[in-house]
Structure 1
């Protein structure tokens, strides 16, 4: 009865101000909510972007959501419903599937007699949706509600179930979620392998060391060969011109997962506000864990622009970035979905460049990867080396791999995917701690290619020793898990990727892991130079030592060449003098790998969080990429 009285009161107010049929623009101007000059510009943008003027007005902060809702209700002669005033009737929950409601911005709200009051945030689309409603739903009356209220109600009703689905979205045979489920076969294989290792260590230590040396040398030669091939294949650097945008611009969703952030929120809003893509076609969604009190409190003190909002992920069996992304994706509308991290500072025109690149790309390009760089490269030696490594990876290795036709493991940020492709491959594996690399391989398995595009995002270099090792151990653990997931059925992977890309996966993932794991075997040859006894004394001829020395020097030379070539393609040419010091940087990866192996055995899905906001940009404007950053 109370709801009937509230609805009747709302209806009387709508009738008292009988403006049915009047354009929304006129009503907002008459209300004094929007100036006539601003409305003219909003109408021009609505026509140009093929968006309702209500959406333009809200995105441009010309009027509040309540003002727009009230004006829409009067224009359509419909009820304006607010969740806190007239709560939706939970008994109507089963009439329409939650995904249908999210996709079309509507919700069964209440019944008035036999008539269903169906609230919508997109009244212009309402008539076209009527034929798609269930035939037994009965007579329907349109009402207006904000999309925020519709989302909030669906999350309250179905959030827990959606969180479970988010954790299991990827098909079981393509996910690592069974990694911690030890079958009798796995236990037997592990016991046999351990017993064989111990037996060799006791009875044939020299043979064991020699075998490890051959494996380490093989991985080193293959890895350095892949680096050299990528360097030779990388496209020549060309001048970067203005983005050539398509006539019809797509809507773009940016997902920004946040967790335990207390320093970065205001800076993040400022950096993303620099984006020049039309705000009416852009939605930035900050993805928070519902139990993350620290980040919620931080954002409560931060004013968000109307094109930026929060989605809160209910608790679940794992607390990972990919699970949060899977959950939040259902509450978005973009045709293209991008990912940024909390500390990211993208180039202002990055979205335009990405849209232009997709428009010009072949149909099988399902993903575009931006170039990642650092805004604090001169903080200390670790940040300098990290910057050289990132330049080598994003400016040489990944473009070279893509040019050679190999599968490209994605970076965790500045990744943009066609939404239809993302849905087809199953989203992100919620249990994989390097969901980006895993998604890159899954895209390749489904027949899609990843290309890099000319735009830079700068972020914070992790330049403290133990946090660096923790971050790198997560990356290496994820690389190992990703390799295992995709190679545990090698024949299927071979058929999906073909021989060349199958080989590329082994070279990139397996050789990297073996190289870090067995690096101490190669370091042992320093003992010879120091005049100390070596495990292979008596087996190494002068000729063998000569060839081993040649292999080591060649590998070091390729690494130096790669670093110099990468820096030459970046704005960090001043760091070239630091490239030779990488020989002391990469051994830290071995420590990280041993930590990763231990975690894989004990907590394979544990996400070792990297804290942001600990190192400021090197100077004013260091976090503002421009064309000169390319």
Structure 2
């Protein structure tokens, strides 16, 4: 039992008032801030979702946060503290660790005599927080403060330390942060491997080429087999169902990392404002880097709703999305944590569907992945092919992998986690440029499942050639790094995942990387059709050519089948005729692969940022579900 006790015996602390104890709703009506008719609706909503009316009033912008908290200070008969008027006492602030203060919205502010003034952003939780305080905390009294002031004070005092933790929270054996730290032994192994390859190429070029061909064909056959298996497993799609929210909807925090965004901020606010989840149970945190003046200036010209706020990440050794997410996670309070990208347009009822899915799923389901689609598939040929590829990935391959019981490499957006699960796996690897795929495998290694939910987020297809190659090279570099991180201790990976999922990880990652890397080996057979000599002419008899022709035709047939099946599961019927053109699209991935391999060797942690806002939706409402009536 704690030895400290709350006290309001001192008149200076109590701020005794004739208004103490009066309902907050009555105080706001009396002050003319909220009209009685509007307050009736707020009270009804508060009763419906079992939340304090003050939260509803603030979230629905019926009154400002300061007006609400001043009314709360009168209701509780306590002080309202502003950081700019009464700065917190440095000798008192450190009485509680920053993690505790962030989790509970509290801050030891100052002393009045022997009494600690404990500022609260959510005064209704005071009785729950008091038993959690250290036994030697002593006597205290409650005051009220804006949560923004509490966060700003903690960020100023502890931001640098929290940022360092964000970079290194993952154990070294689970992170890729030592990738660029070579030893004498690894350098010798790499040099010997390179020399052996060059020697084989010089001494027996046909043998070298034949080995590469066998590897390319094997990866091609395995990849096509996985696609067909996923198509079969995903043939029964889960239909969206209308499900009621829990009586007390869980708090949901959405993190939206932004970096050098000039054109997207106002559109982002508009799109996320369509979300129908109760705003008093939703917070959207826009995550900015400290040096990102471009986005900060853009947001300064944008009116953010009260359920949306900004968290600024201090500078550090790396500037990556996962590092920013790790830091911003400290400032969330949701039971469910979701991720959106800057250009995302989620379905309005998406949060309800995610919450309902978690509500009915077993505890080992730690993550839910939504479906990604594009709102500009008709912008040009590249966006059409990208849309077909996305449809194949999110509507066939990922659902199929999940239904077959394989580990699921996550997408970077429209992905949601149980808070406690995210804490147990220690968040994201701050150095991995495809933190989503890495986290999906790590969740599986810790015994958690990822399931897909039938809700769609529409986003902007990257449809400019060089930006597409840069984005894809980052993804492929991250895939290579993720495979290396998890496979460098194969016995441990096998033990964590079991035989089926271990093979699934190897097949998925290695076939993806090998197909793009070795594609030129397969392209070389166009030399024969052109009447030119081929390095393997001496081995290519009629039987061999028939086998190769059969393999190539079956692979093309599988690609066509997957592409057509995927498009059939989207509203983009005009894309059917473009599926056969994918044969000219995938070679771009090979260009990106070689860029990725070079960066893996020279700059593994470099984040090649994709700029958003360059391609508008095909039609004014293309970023909405077809049946949206709002």
TM class by shorter-chain length?
over 0.9
Q: CA deviation at 1:510?
A: 0.8
133-142 or 285-294, which deviates more? 133-142
Q: CA deviation at 1:138?
A: 2.2
Aligned 1:85-96 pairs, distance under 5 A: 85-96=85-96
Q: CA deviation at 1:606?
A: 0.2
Q: CA deviation at 1:129?
A: 2.2
Partners of 1:627 and 1:369 in 2: CA distance: 22
Partners of 1:184 and 1:46 in 2: CA distance: 64
Q: Which residue of the partner structure matches residue 415 of structure 1?
A: 415
Question: Are the structure 2 counterparts of residues 15 and 475 from structure 1 closer, same or farther at C-alpha, using a change threshold of 3 Å?
Answer: closer
Q: Which residue of the partner structure matches residue 508 of structure 1?
A: 508
SS of equivalent to 1:618: coil
Q: Which residue of the partner structure matches residue 523 of structure 1?
A: 523
SS of equivalent to 1:580: helix
Q: Which residue of the partner structure matches residue 100 of structure 1?
A: 100
Partners of 1:177 and 1:13 in 2: CA distance: 50
SS of equivalent to 2:416: strand
Partners of 1:276 and 1:130 in 2: CA distance: 34
Question: Are the structure 2 counterparts of residues 21 and 218 from structure 1 closer, same or farther at C-alpha, using a change threshold of 3 Å?
Answer: same
| 8 Å Cα contact 2:16/2:77 also seen in 1 | no
Q: CA deviation at 1:625?
A: 2.0
Q: CA deviation at 1:584?
A: 0.5
121-130 or 144-153, which deviates more? 121-130
Partners of 1:504 and 1:13 in 2: CA distance: 63
**TM, length-normalised to structure 2:** 0.96
Partners of 1:256 and 1:213 in 2: CA distance: 43
Q: Which residue of the partner structure matches residue 241 of structure 2?
A: 241
Could you list the per-position Cα deviations for residues 177-201 of structure 1 after superposition, in whole angstroms to 9, with x for gaps in the alignment?
Answer: 0000001221111011011011111
Could you list the per-position Cα deviations for residues 293-319 of structure 1 after superposition, in whole angstroms to 9, with x for gaps in the alignment?
Answer: 000000000000000000000001100
Could you list the per-position Cα deviations for residues 440-464 of structure 1 after superposition, in whole angstroms to 9, with x for gaps in the alignment?
Answer: 0001001111111111100000011
Partners of 2:156 and 2:285 in 1: CA distance: 18
Aligned 1:99-498 pairs, distance under 5 A: 99-237=99-237, 239-498=239-498
Partners of 2:520 and 2:411 in 1: CA distance: 28
SS of equivalent to 1:143: strand
Matched, 1:83 2:47: no
SS of equivalent to 2:111: strand
SS of equivalent to 2:288: strand
Could you list the per-position Cα deviations for residues 127-163 of structure 1 after superposition, in whole angstroms to 9, with x for gaps in the alignment?
Answer: 2322322222222111111111111111111000000
Partners of 2:499 and 2:138 in 1: CA distance: 57
Q: Where do 5+ consecutive residues of structure 1 fail to align?
A: 1-9
Q: CA deviation at 1:71?
A: 1.0
**TM, length-normalised to structure 1:** 0.96
The alignment of Structure 1 onto Structure 2 pairs a total of residues equal to 620
Partners of 2:389 and 2:149 in 1: CA distance: 46
| 8 Å Cα contact 2:375/2:618 also seen in 1 | yes
Q: CA deviation at 1:203?
A: 0.7
Q: CA deviation at 1:245?
A: 2.8
Q: CA deviation at 1:538?
A: 1.0
Could you list the per-position Cα deviations for residues 209-238 of structure 1 after superposition, in whole angstroms to 9, with x for gaps in the alignment?
Answer: 000000000000001110011011104246
Q: What is the Cα-based RMSD across aligned positions, in Å?
A: 1.6
Q: Which residue of the partner structure matches residue 567 of structure 2?
A: 567
Could you list the per-position Cα deviations for residues 562-591 of structure 1 after superposition, in whole angstroms to 9, with x for gaps in the alignment?
Answer: 000000111112211111110000011000
| 8 Å Cα contact 1:237/1:569 also seen in 2 | no
| 8 Å Cα contact 2:13/2:79 also seen in 1 | no
SS of equivalent to 2:621: coil
Q: CA deviation at 1:15?
A: 4.7
Partners of 2:77 and 2:428 in 1: CA distance: 43
Question: Are the structure 2 counterparts of residues 497 and 42 from structure 1 closer, same or farther at C-alpha, using a change threshold of 3 Å?
Answer: same
SS of equivalent to 1:498: helix
Partners of 1:229 and 1:127 in 2: CA distance: 55
SS of equivalent to 1:538: helix
Q: Which residue of the partner structure matches residue 621 of structure 1?
A: 621
